[in-house]
């Protein structure tokens, strides 16, 4: 092999060796940088920007359980930069994620404020060998709704069993007493009463379900006078039978905007309750007042009143402050729940004042509606139609 060939071979070997050394050195530097990244507690680039854009509480914690970065909502749960995780449950989740064993979200209770414990679903994931991302989602409302759904199904099943069972037993009694007309009539009357109770309960369950659904309602301006008059007319017979006088007072010509069926049922239920729980010789008052853009519809009775311990619960479904009296009056325990949901759906609230032995006052507060020109024209047309009908009746009589 001559000298040029030897020189070329030597050059080739040198290039190969130099390239190999460069690759080894580069790999060493990259391994060192990677090791430094994994061993560092520095938050990766862009992570803080992501946390700043989250609406949910989220934090990044180091191996000691110290928060190194946090979203703004996380502060409400005591999760702030420089502070350690507030509970051992969170610390255990962080360690499990670092070990590669935490996957599914875990639900736990966290204190948001001294008197406000919240249910949160926590998801954790390792973003480096030392840093753990924890994302919290408040599921308190979901748990409450789910519990309400379970309670509603259980309570409804229980409430339906009573009249259904009574109907079955009374039907058997009618059959067995076929030869005794007096017994048949007595059982038939009780059968009718239980059927009415069952129908009322079913109707109210459907009303409550409709109010709690997201279905759009037919909304329009409603004269409060219409609601009051309809409620008085609907219960005048039962009030007379109970020896209770229905009195109306307050402003006239006030309007609200909403679903006539829902608001009518709300006022109707309040009047029905007032009549049912009032003693003979007393009166039930219906009053209307508007002030500062709010309409107040009050129904006051002189009945037995409601104990302070029961006042917070009377709006719950199937809750009865007086079980025995409710059974005698045919109450379903859904009337006030319907009132509450109907009013809340219209952006209002229901207030209660009551003293045992002095009576109760339920007040519906709704936003005041100011009827526009279209409404005035419609009222004028109604008035003209009524005038024409009266004139026609007079002409016929003449």
- Which tens digit of pLDDT belongs to each residue from 114-143? 778 888 999 998 888 788 899 999 998 888
Residue 398: pLDDT band (50, 70, 90) is: very low
Average pLDDT over residues 206-211: 70
Q: How many CB atoms lie within 10 A of CB 351?
A: 11
* pTM as predicted: 0.53
Pairwise pLDDT comparison (355 vs 147), residue with the higher score:
355
Does position 346 have pLDDT exceeding 90, yes or no?
no
Judge whether 283 and 320 are in contact, CB under 8 Å: no
**CB proximity list for 333: less than 8 A, separation 6 or greater:** 159, 317, 318, 319, 320, 326
Average pLDDT over residues 263-271: 90
**CATH code of domain 142-215:** 1.10.287.130
| 3-state secondary structure (DSSP) of residue 104 | coil
Give the pLDDT score at 25. 67
Does position 396 have pLDDT exceeding 50, yes or no?
no
Domain residue ranges in the chain: 47-138, 142-215, 218-375
**CATH code of domain 218-375:** 3.30.565.10
Judge whether 229 and 267 are in contact, CB under 8 Å: no
Average pLDDT over residues 154-172: 75
Q: 142-215 and 218-375: same fold?
A: no
Give the pLDDT score at 297. 94
CA torsion sign for 39, 45, 46, 52 is positive
φ, ψ (nearest 5 deg) of residue 208: -65, -40
Beta strands in the chain (DSSP E): 58-61, 67-70, 106-113, 116-126, 132-138, 220-223, 245-250, 255-258, 283-291, 294-300, 349-355, 359-369
Average pLDDT over residues 245-271: 90
Average pLDDT over residues 347-351: 91
Pairwise pLDDT comparison (396 vs 7), residue with the higher score:
7
Average pLDDT over residues 38-57: 78
Pairwise pLDDT comparison (177 vs 157), residue with the higher score:
177
- Pairwise CA distance, residues 167 & 348, whole Å: 39
Which of 112-126, 262-276, 382-396 shows the lowest per-residue confidence on average (mean pLDDT)? 382-396
Cα separations in angstroms, 149 against 144, 153, 205: 9, 6, 13
Residue 158: pLDDT band (50, 70, 90) is: low
Number of residues written out for the chain: 398
Architecture of domain 47-138: 2-Layer Sandwich (3.30)
Residue 2: pLDDT band (50, 70, 90) is: low
Which of 217-221, 311-315, 368-372 shows the lowest per-residue confidence on average (mean pLDDT)? 368-372
Give the pLDDT score at 47. 83
What is the residue-averaged pLDDT of the chain?
79
pLDDT winner (highest mean) among 189-203, 234-248, 301-315: 234-248
Does position 386 have pLDDT exceeding 60, yes or no?
no
Residue 38: pLDDT band (50, 70, 90) is: low
């Amino acid at each position: 092999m001559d000298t040029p060939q030897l020189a070329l071979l030597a050059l080739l070997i040198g290039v190969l060796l130099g390239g190999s050394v460069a690759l080894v050195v580069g790999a060493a530097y990259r391994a060192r940088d990677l090791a430094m990244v994994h061993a560092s507690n520095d938050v990766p680039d862009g992570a803080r920007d992501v946390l700043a854009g989250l609406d949910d509480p989220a934090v990044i914690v180091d191996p000691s359980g110290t928060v190194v970065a946090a979203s703004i909502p996380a502060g409400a749960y005591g999760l702030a930069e420089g502070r350690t995780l507030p509970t051992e449950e969170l610390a255990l989740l962080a360690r499990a994620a670092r070990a590669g064993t935490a996957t599914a979200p875990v639900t736990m209770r966290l204190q948001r404020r001294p008197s406000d414990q919240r249910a949160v679903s926590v998801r954790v994931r390792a973003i480096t060998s030392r840093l753990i991302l924890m994302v919290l989602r408040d599921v308190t409302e979901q748990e409450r709704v789910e519990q309400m759904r379970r309670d509603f199904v259980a309570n409804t099943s229980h409430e339906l069993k009573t009249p259904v069972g009574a109907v079955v037993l009374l039907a058997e009694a009618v059959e067995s007493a076929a030869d005794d007309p007096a017994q048949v009539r007595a059982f038939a009357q009780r059968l009718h009463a239980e059927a009415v109770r069952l129908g009322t309960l079913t109707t109210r369950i459907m009303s409550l379900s409709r109010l709690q659904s997201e279905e759009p309602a037919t909304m329009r301006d409603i004269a409060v006078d219409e609601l009051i008059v309809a409620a008085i007319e609907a219960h005048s017979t039962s009030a007379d039978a109970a020896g209770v006088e229905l009195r109306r007072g307050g402003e006239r010509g006030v309007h609200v905007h909403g679903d006539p069926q829902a608001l009518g049922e709300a006022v109707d239920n309040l009047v029905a309750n007032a009549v049912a729980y009032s003693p003979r010789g007393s009166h039930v008052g219906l009053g209307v007042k508007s002030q500062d853009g709010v309409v107040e519809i009050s129904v006051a009775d002189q009945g037995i009143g409601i104990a302070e311990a029961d006042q917070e619960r009377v709006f719950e479904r199937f809750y009865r402050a007086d079980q025995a009296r409710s059974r005698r009056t045919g109450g379903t325990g859904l009337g006030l729940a319907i009132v509450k949901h109907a009013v809340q759906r219209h952006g209002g609230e229901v207030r209660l004042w009551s003293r045992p032995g002095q009576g109760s006052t339920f007040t519906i507060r709704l936003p005041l509606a100011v009827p526009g020109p279209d409404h005035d024209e419609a009222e004028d047309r109604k008035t003209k139609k009524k005038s024409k009908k009266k004139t026609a009746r007079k002409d016929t009589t003449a």
